[in-house]
Homo-oligomer: A and B are copies of this chain.
């Protein structure tokens, strides 16, 4: 069958992920891999999880393997609600639905809100797999520039006034791909603007727990006017990603609609792992695990920053991430990260993601994203040295 003539219009902008294409090559041999979005598997709490899996089988095996509610396991929803409340977002279990990772939370929110042609304010650059979601719903982008304090919120007001956007999408903490954090003042102003102009915010907080320095900032949902905010979170970065457990939180009215679409999509999230994750959390293991991760990841971030400082030529600059997994490097304007990647992969066995894939309008040709939590400390140094050689000889 000629499938190409059968695809829906929404498929026109669905394309292979540039990152996935890189990773297909990289995982085949001995690369130093700054390209992935993977957390460090050495830090997964394997023994604890195995023990809890056994407990779930022993104590509630039949329930844990059966169909369950689209909204998720009530006890886990309550735990997440209480934790968000402690962090400043007044939340009840009714405001939380459990998803197969925060990716699914973003997709559900977009599915419920976006019609073809709807305009959406995004950070420029932004999370690739988020952009791919919005592409598939045929949204139009209103990209807003970023500086060291995140999205330049003054530009947002003009867009809200003149462009009637349907949604604002932001990653306020340690943004992917830049690692930049939205400042306190801008958070407050962004939420106030969204409320004033009656435009929902989709707050992607996948990395919020991974802070290595500086003060924790309240999430957008915690501010006055936060009722316009839909937020997504995940256990992928704190417990493990392979279990696919995340959440979406918003006003109760919206949650009923989200539950209906969640049911259509895949009925409900893995019953078994929801119960394992709940036991992990209620046993008080989550916060110590986050501290353990932050300690290890901070060390790697600091090594990367030191190595960049030491080995890279002066005309290269980079962001300073207070947390998360990534930073963004900016090369001289005359250089193209895609050209660099070709040499890096073929001659130096080092991989990164050219920044352009994160810029919906194709700018950012001279930027590249580095993941600093996945490689080993000694690989980071070696990898930066190799990068420096390639940059100098380009």
Q: Which residues of A contact B (CB under 8 A)?
A: 1-4, 6-11, 14-17, 20, 37-39, 41-42, 44, 46, 49-50, 53-54, 57, 61-68, 70, 99-101, 103-104, 107, 111-115, 118, 129, 132-133, 136-137, 166, 198, 200, 227-228, 236, 240-244, 251, 253-254, 256-257, 260-261, 263-273
**Which one of B1, B66, B107, B257 contacts A266 once the chains associate, using CB atoms below 8 Å?**
B107
* Inter-chain contact A8/B112, CB cutoff 8 Å: yes
* Inter-chain contact A103/B265, CB cutoff 8 Å: yes
Give the distance in Å from the alpha carbon of A262 to the alpha carbon of B49 in the complex: 27
* Inter-chain contact B257/A244, CB cutoff 8 Å: no
**Which one of B9, B38, B100 contacts A115 once the chains associate, using CB atoms below 8 Å?**
B9
Q: Which residues of B contact A42 (CB under 8 A)?
A: 62
Q: Which residues of B contact A112 (CB under 8 A)?
A: 7-8, 11
Q: Which residues of B contact A240 (CB under 8 A)?
A: 65-66
Task: Report the nearest B residue to A37, measured CB to CB.
Answer: B67
* Inter-chain contact B266/A103, CB cutoff 8 Å: yes
* Inter-chain contact B260/A242, CB cutoff 8 Å: no
**Which one of B49, B65, B244, B257 contacts A241 once the chains associate, using CB atoms below 8 Å?**
B65
**Which one of B1, B14, B260, B270 contacts A200 once the chains associate, using CB atoms below 8 Å?**
B1
**Which one of B1, B14, B256 contacts A257 once the chains associate, using CB atoms below 8 Å?**
B14
How many copies of the shown chain assemble into the complex? 2
Give the distance in Å from the alpha carbon of A263 to the alpha carbon of B23 in the complex: 14
Q: Which residues of B contact A63 (CB under 8 A)?
A: 41, 242
Distance in Å: Cβ of A116 to nearest Cβ of chain B: 9
Task: Report the nearest B residue to A246, measured CB to CB.
Answer: B266
Most buried by B among A49, A254, A263, A268: A263
CB-CB under 8 A for A261 and B14, given A241-B67, A244-B269: yes
* Inter-chain contact B263/A20, CB cutoff 8 Å: yes
Q: Which residues of B contact A257 (CB under 8 A)?
A: 3, 7, 11, 14
Give the distance in Å from the alpha carbon of A70 to the alpha carbon of B20 in the complex: 9
Distance in Å: Cβ of A150 to nearest Cβ of chain B: 23
Give the distance in Å from the alpha carbon of A269 to the alpha carbon of B103 in the complex: 12
What are 30 inter-chain pairs, A to B, with CB distance below 8 A? Answer: A1-B227, A2-B198, A3-B253, A3-B254, A7-B113, A8-B112, A8-B115, A10-B115, A14-B257, A17-B263, A37-B67, A39-B66, A41-B62, A41-B65, A46-B61, A49-B65, A64-B242, A99-B266, A100-B100, A100-B270, A101-B266, A107-B265, A111-B136, A132-B260, A132-B264, A241-B267, A242-B271, A243-B270, A244-B267, A270-B273
Most buried by B among A14, A16, A107, A244: A244
**Which one of B103, B236, B264, B269 contacts A136 once the chains associate, using CB atoms below 8 Å?**
B264
CB-CB under 8 A for A242 and B129, given A50-B54, A57-B49, A61-B46: no
